[in-house]
Structure 1
Amino acid sequence: MAIARKRSKWRVWRDVIYSLIVREVKTGFGDKLGLSWAVINPIAFIFVLSFVRGRLDGGETYSMPTFVFMAYGLLIFQLFLQTFNACTSSIKRSKPLFAFRQVQPISPVIASGIFEGIVKVVVMAGIALVMYFLTMEIRIDNPLGVIASFINVWLIGIFMGLTFGIAQLYIPELNKFRNMMTRPLFFISGIFFSLRDIPQEYWWLLDWNPLLHATELSRFYSYSSYGKVGVSQIFVFELLLVLVAFSLLFYRATWKGAISR
């Protein structure tokens, strides 16, 4: 006679998240292009941006190749934006699954965040491969610093997505505000420029943005000669801690009411 083994809550939660990640993979790469488009699209965009900026600074931006300069800016921004959007929409998309008591709203958020993180790792590997075949210098002076910058942005996207995803179940109009909020970030997060391109008296208009800090820091950790001016890893980390605390408290207080709406 078969013996039924009772699984722990952590194991059940792990299995739920794994199943949701598999669903994300099938949904995200169900078309013919699949993962290849996720790699080709940012690489092509980086080449276009590099060409435009390279015409202005001769192919080198503050001691680092313009292609690498643009790559860090675009990858940081896309990591945040795609993680934020995916995590925000995952709660509403998974609402029918909440009929099963094993599935809680935070589970699809974590699954979407992990999926987007994996996709971006593959994209980075694709960009490194392109640089290798084009005989571009692949240089990272402080690998841990670069990894920390990307992880901080990734976590900010996840926890902001958790907060907005729950809040949207109460106030659907927040989706419009989310779109209005993220569009200007494309122009003020350091994708096209360095903070040193801006007169110092105007830095206060931009240095509240953690994406700008993470972008400039990732460039500095890659090329130490680039310099670290006007940005701080501590600022990004402190903001992340506040965001994590607020998101988890907000989730704990509202998730049961949210899924019943």
Structure 2
Amino acid sequence: MAKVKSRSTLQVWGDVIFAIFLREIKSKFNDKVGISWAVISPVTFIFALSLMRNTLSGGRDVHGMSTFLFMMIGMTSIQFFLGTMQSAANAIKKSRPLFSFRQVQPISAILAITGLEFLIKLFVVIVLGVISYLFRFDITIYDPLEIIFNLVKLWLIAVSIGTIFAIGYSFIPELNKIVEIMTRPLFFISGTFMSLQDIPEKYWCYLTWNPILHVIELTRYAAVPQYGNAGVSNFYVNVVTLVCVSFALSCYHVSWKQAISR
């Protein structure tokens, strides 16, 4: 007689997340160029914008930081945030057929899909680092651990906001059109193309509400301390991260059953 192996709730949850993770890999990279394109596309975009910024600035550094490193941190961070948020926002809709199984819950799909997004962007950063080394770009990272912490906080904020949107999409599908319009300005108001220090201080109050701007500027400061951290606060990022995670978990706890039943 076959022996039935019992598993704890945590083991079942881990197996479900891993299964959805593998499913997402197969669906995302189901062609020959899928994996390569996930890296080539952002790398090419970052190089093109870095070259443009370097040409416009006459080859000068940006507040003590090389133009390539400045643009790489900005573009990688904003792409990471938007990609993670959109993946989380579409996770419930994308995985809806799986919810007929009792063990599968929306939070498992959200964590699996956004976890894959995190790994893809991490691989992009590694590829950019290798390319920088091969082309002998002048790049020195002062505090890599702080950079990792900043990226984790940015990931948590993106997952939290995406989770709220995912629940909202379940009740109001047309909400995704509004979200797309609202997220487009983030490329221009998050310090991606220019430093906060390039803007007159009297206008900082209109930009510093944005936690993505704080994360990008603090990441640049962690990479090159000479860059400075004027106008941004690590405490503010921590508070926003905590508030976003708490609010997203509260919304999820209250409405996830109604969301998947619609």
Q: The TM-score by the shorter chain falls in which range?
A: over 0.9
Aligned residues: 261
SS for the counterpart of 1:64 is: coil
Q: In the alignment, residue 107 of structure 1 is paired with which amino acid?
A: S
Contact 2:90 2:166 in 1 (8 A): yes
Partner deviation per Cα, 1:105-144 (whole Å, 9 max, x = no partner) = 1111000111000001110010001101101133111112
Matched, 1:230 2:214: no
Contact 2:66 2:139 in 1 (8 A): no
Residue number in structure 1 paired with 2:140: 139
Residue number in structure 2 paired with 1:61: 62
Residue number in structure 2 paired with 1:213: 214
What is the deviation of 1:188? 0.8
What is the deviation of 1:55? 2.1
Distance (Å, rounded) in 2 between the aligned partners of 1:155 and 1:211 = 12
Residue number in structure 2 paired with 1:101: 102
Partner deviation per Cα, 1:200-239 (whole Å, 9 max, x = no partner) = 0001111111111111111110001111110011111100
Specify every segment of 5 or more residues in structure 1 that has no aligned partner in the other structure, as ranges.
none
What is the deviation of 1:56? 2.9
Distance (Å, rounded) in 2 between the aligned partners of 1:101 and 1:256 = 12
Q: Residues 176-255 of structure 1 correspond to what in structure 2 (within 5 A)? A: 176-255=177-256
The root-mean-square deviation of aligned C-alpha atoms, in Å, is: 1.0
Matched, 1:22 2:22: yes
SS for the counterpart of 2:179 is: helix
Comparing 17-26 and 134-143, the one that deviates more: 134-143
SS for the counterpart of 1:107 is: helix
Q: Residues 62-77 of structure 1 correspond to what in structure 2 (within 5 A)? A: 62-77=63-78
Q: In the alignment, residue 169 of structure 1 is paired with which amino acid?
A: S
Partner deviation per Cα, 1:156-177 (whole Å, 9 max, x = no partner) = 1111111110111011121111
Comparing 27-36 and 226-235, the one that deviates more: 27-36
| Consecutive aligned runs of 4 or more in structure 1 exceeding 4 Å deviation | none
Q: In the alignment, residue 75 of structure 1 is paired with which amino acid?
A: T
Residue number in structure 1 paired with 2:7: 7
Comparing 75-84 and 135-144, the one that deviates more: 135-144
SS for the counterpart of 1:38 is: helix
Q: In the alignment, residue 147 of structure 1 is paired with which amino acid?
A: I
Distance (Å, rounded) in 1 between the aligned partners of 2:138 and 2:36 = 24
Distance (Å, rounded) in 1 between the aligned partners of 2:41 and 2:192 = 16
What is the deviation of 1:180? 1.1
Distance (Å, rounded) in 1 between the aligned partners of 2:57 and 2:97 = 53
Distance (Å, rounded) in 2 between the aligned partners of 1:204 and 1:30 = 46
Distance (Å, rounded) in 2 between the aligned partners of 1:182 and 1:87 = 14
Distance (Å, rounded) in 2 between the aligned partners of 1:189 and 1:85 = 17
Distance (Å, rounded) in 1 between the aligned partners of 2:36 and 2:133 = 18
Distance (Å, rounded) in 2 between the aligned partners of 1:202 and 1:224 = 24
Residue number in structure 2 paired with 1:92: 93
Distance (Å, rounded) in 2 between the aligned partners of 1:138 and 1:55 = 18
Distance (Å, rounded) in 2 between the aligned partners of 1:7 and 1:51 = 54
Residue number in structure 1 paired with 2:45: 45
Q: In the alignment, residue 171 of structure 2 is paired with which amino acid?
A: Y
SS for the counterpart of 1:186 is: helix
Q: In the alignment, residue 41 of structure 1 is paired with which amino acid?
A: S
Distance (Å, rounded) in 2 between the aligned partners of 1:219 and 1:108 = 32
Distance (Å, rounded) in 1 between the aligned partners of 2:191 and 2:240 = 18
Residue number in structure 2 paired with 1:170: 171
What is the deviation of 1:58? 2.9
Distance (Å, rounded) in 2 between the aligned partners of 1:90 and 1:250 = 16
Distance (Å, rounded) in 2 between the aligned partners of 1:37 and 1:130 = 16
Identity across the alignment (%): 47
